[in-house]
Homo-oligomer: A and B are copies of this chain.
């Protein structure tokens, strides 16, 4: 595997993908073209508009960025891609579209064959066994919640701790993840905005300057420091 799995595309006070620039220069250095998958498209954007945004965000690279929606055969586009970027937005919409177009399996295969992959937010949520630790609203019903499973645990992107002064009674992120684990025996990584995973071969390393939070069923959550190796 050769993947960058990022909590968010954008951190506060910085442009789209800007904080990842040095990482992506290295990650995509051999790619002449990058296949962009805009299916999670955020509010209001068309596939074209979202692809234009990705193009601009990656304009510091020499690679050409092409939207998968411009290919007649999206499955073939994935199979022959030199590199792949799955952008954020709504995870339900992304997963539904990948299942409807029968692309989940082929995407899994090329990632496991080490096609350089970048996922941000929803594009990172799909790397685990299922999408059931997303924060997104269920705006569509996917055929299945199963996702790529190229990493052996689920991601909770945009992870944030509850403000201890909050008067809000909605569940905290920790509570939600523990609820998930009452019913699913799957480990979960809470990945804060500004953190990413680097997956090279079988080694998955926590990157960025921030701690992450590791949840195992029936265990108390553990704080992980940057450079922690999650699988090897």
| Alpha-carbon distance between A10 and B171 when the two chains are bound, in angstroms | 12
- CB of A169 within 8 A of CB of B135, answer no
| Alpha-carbon distance between A12 and B165 when the two chains are bound, in angstroms | 11
- CB of B169 within 8 A of CB of A10, answer yes
Would you call A184 an interface residue if the criterion is a C-beta within 8 Å of the partner chain's C-beta atoms?
Answer: yes
Q: Which residues of B contact A42 (CB under 8 A)?
A: 171, 179
Q: Is the interface of A mostly helix, strand, loop or mixed?
A: loop
Would you call A141 an interface residue if the criterion is a C-beta within 8 Å of the partner chain's C-beta atoms?
Answer: yes
Among candidates B43, B144, B158, residue contacting A170 with C-beta atoms closer than 8 Å: B158
**A and B contact pairs by CB, cutoff 8 A, 22 listed:** A11-B169, A42-B171, A43-B175, A43-B182, A44-B182, A92-B138, A131-B138, A132-B139, A132-B140, A134-B138, A135-B137, A135-B170, A136-B171, A137-B176, A137-B179, A137-B180, A138-B138, A139-B176, A139-B184, A158-B169, A160-B168, A170-B193
